[in-house]
Amino acid sequence: MPQDQIEEVKTKTDIVPIISEHVELKKAGRNYKGLCPFHSEKTPSFMVSPELQIFKCFGCGESGDVISFLQKYEGMDFPEALKYLADRAGVKLIQRQFKGKGEKEKLIEINALAAKFYNYILLNHKVGKPALDYLIKERGLKLETIKAFNIGFSPNVPLALKKFLIDKKKFSYQDLEKAGIVYRRGGGAIDRFKGRIIFPLLDHRGNNIGLAGRILPSIKTEAGKYINSPETEIYHKSKVLYGLNSTRRDIKKENSVVVVEGELDMISSWQSGVKNTVAIKGTALTEDQVKLLSRFGNEFILALDSDAAGDKAARRSITLAQDQGVEVKVARLGKYKDPDEMARKAPGEYKKALKKAQGVWDFLVDLIFSKYDETSGTGKAKISKEISPILAEISDEIVQAHYIEKVARKLGVPRDAVADQTRKTKTAAATGTPKIAIPTKPKVISRRELLEERLLALAFQSDPKILSEKKTFSLFAAPLTTRIAEEYKKYSAGNKEFNPSDFAASLPKELVQGFADMILEDVQNLIERPQVLKKEQEMVIRELGLLKIKDELSALGEKISEYEEKGEKAKLRKAEEKFGELSERLTQLEESESKSIIL
């Protein structure tokens, strides 16, 4: 890709609206700030600079430009991120480094064309009529819903796709194999999904990355009822949430997502008016799915089989979600076997059940107690065996203490007995999977460096002219701050107004990141109050002055010792006079009413 095109895309892209689509940002002086999307935090430490077109989290250290944000946040590779931004900016990219499409782009196109072919068969071909009748008459789907989710049907014919994808679209057998659409048998390519209703699998950005197939009841086969695309370069089962591409705006609007178990559960839920729904495979969310879904909503409502939320894998996903700051609830479906049936037969009850969803730990405690007699010794033992692992997995100690109290009360036993059993269970689980911690040596930053960087941050975000004053400039001693202050002196000599973007462009490459950190530091609470800002600057300058004097006294002390040893009386007398003057100045400064700032 030509470098000038990359720069054109970046020039025509504003990082703030791109990041704002994923992170709630608030104006903070020259910058914007919000909660970091790369780690869990309650106090915003994620800063975005519209002037430098960069972001940085001062909590976890993630930083970069708009392309690297999409790479880290959306999981895009560089060409994907660049193309996404180019399409938004209206820049037509010229591919010079390779002919044809990239591998991922080709696999996405194959899946999309296959889905289009299957949808055509379902809606327009006589061979698809039994499948269409089944979906509409037996599963209660409306034609508009079928079209909205691009549902299709793969005829029970081994080579159905050959004419379309190979003969007409000129893909090879190898291409179709890589996409997971076909498998080889004999001399031909057999459609993996033949005889099945097809549900296209899209990532949250709308790329068709795979297919799921459900066998039509009238077709007999030894294969399973459901099959998915195999793992490919673009399809990873653990990362996919069916329907998220269609429902993510509704999830964001509600700040809540209903999690169901299969495609038809999701589609029926959506059709009944519950738009903020996604489907997973099985009963447990994976870590990747939790992280992805938590970007769109802070409440997960599990609408699964009654016992599903209690199995070990599901409990682990619940803990993962809560560690991400998500509230997890469970909906009771009553007499209905799944959300599909309830959404079709009793949509009003289904919506009420979701509204009345119970906190997951309350649900699990109540579920276990409903299975056994808590008044008998045998019942208590069974409850203890099932409930101790659940209590042990509650990561928040205050929440855990609440449920230990609740369980003890329901069992009629001392609280300490439940707490001890929970502790034993947790210890046993921990010893089964020992973790080896590799210590890392933290970077030590002196208070002087912190103060110097603070002074630069305050100056660059308000009025950097203070740095031109001889007294202030002489306070810098650390290599980074000294060089940046020197660069500013050069810059200010030829520029009346300070422009952070222009200044950054003028800096040597090795200083840019340090300057960016200063520009992104959150000092808005001071910038908005000029008197407070002035006082803060004065305190920083005063303390740097104190440190400078102390350093000079330390250096003079060494010189005095050296002159004494050598018997250089004239130099010794001069050094002692200077030492006395500096000591007096230090005392005067330390006795002043000004207070030291706290960093």
pLDDT in tens, 239-254: 999 999 999 999 989 9
* pLDDT reported for residue 442: 45
Section 409-421 average pLDDT: 92
Side chain identity, residue 303: A
* CA-closest candidate to residue 58, choices 68, 69, 44, 71: 44
Taking the whole predicted model, whether its pTM rises above 0.75 is answered as: no
Segment 64-75, tens digit of pLDDT: 899 999 988 888
The residue ranking higher by pLDDT, 526 or 186, is 526
Cβ pair 243, 280 in contact under 8 A: no
Q: How confident is the model at residue 595 (pLDDT cuts 50, 70, 90)?
A: very low
User: CA 337, CA 153: separation in Å to the nearest integer?
Assistant: 26
CATH class for the domain made up of 3-89: alpha beta
Cβ-contact 130, 216 below 8 angstroms: yes
- Please report which confidence band the pLDDT of residue 431 belongs to, taking 50, 70 and 90 as the band edges: low
In sequence order, the β-bridge partners of residue 56 are 47, 63
Domain borders along the chain are 3-89, 103-235, 244-361, 372-430, 447-591
Spatial separation of the C-alpha atoms in residues 578 and 199, rounded to whole Å: 84
pLDDT at 309: 56
**Which range, 126-135, 217-226, 427-436, 537-546, is most confident?**
126-135
Summary mean pLDDT of the chain: 85
Position 235 pLDDT exceeds 60: yes
Confidence of residue 182 (pLDDT cuts 50, 70, 90): confident
Residue that wins the pLDDT comparison between 449 and 265 = 265
**What CA–CA distance (Å, rounded) separates 421 from 391?**
10
Q: Provide the CATH number for the domain formed by 244-361 in this structure.
A: 3.40.1360.10
For residue range 539-594, list pLDDT tens digits in order.
Answer: 888 888 888 888 888 887 788 888 788 788 888 788 778 877 777 777 776 666 44
CA distance 82 to 3: 12
Helix axes 397-411, 377-392, angle to 10 degrees: 170
Q: Which CATH number describes the domain made up of 103-235?
A: 3.90.980.10
Helices 447-461 and 479-494 meet at what angle, rounded to 10? 20
Mapped onto helix, strand or coil, the DSSP state of residue 41 is coil
Query: Is the distance from CB of 372 to CB of 383 less than 8 angstroms?
Result: yes
What per-residue confidence (pLDDT) applies to 30?
Answer: 84
* The predicted structure's pLDDT at residue 39: 83
Distance in angstroms between the alpha carbons of the first and the last residue of the chain = 45
Q: Grade residue 97 by pLDDT with cuts at 50, 70 and 90.
A: very low
pLDDT over 70 (residue 437): no
Q: Which amino acid is at 338?
A: D
Residue 259's SS3 state is strand
pLDDT in tens, 6-25: 888 888 999 999 999 888 89
Asked if pLDDT for residue 445 goes beyond 80, the answer is no
Check for a shared fold between 3-89 and 103-235.
no
Distance CA 52, CA 520 (A): 9
- Give the strand pairing for 188-191 and 182-185: antiparallel
- Return the structure tokens found at 513: 């990141």
Q: What percent of the chain has pLDDT over 70?
A: 91
pLDDT value at 113 more than 90: yes
Which of 46-50, 97-101, 504-508 is the least confident region? 97-101
Contact 311, 282 (CB under 8 A): no
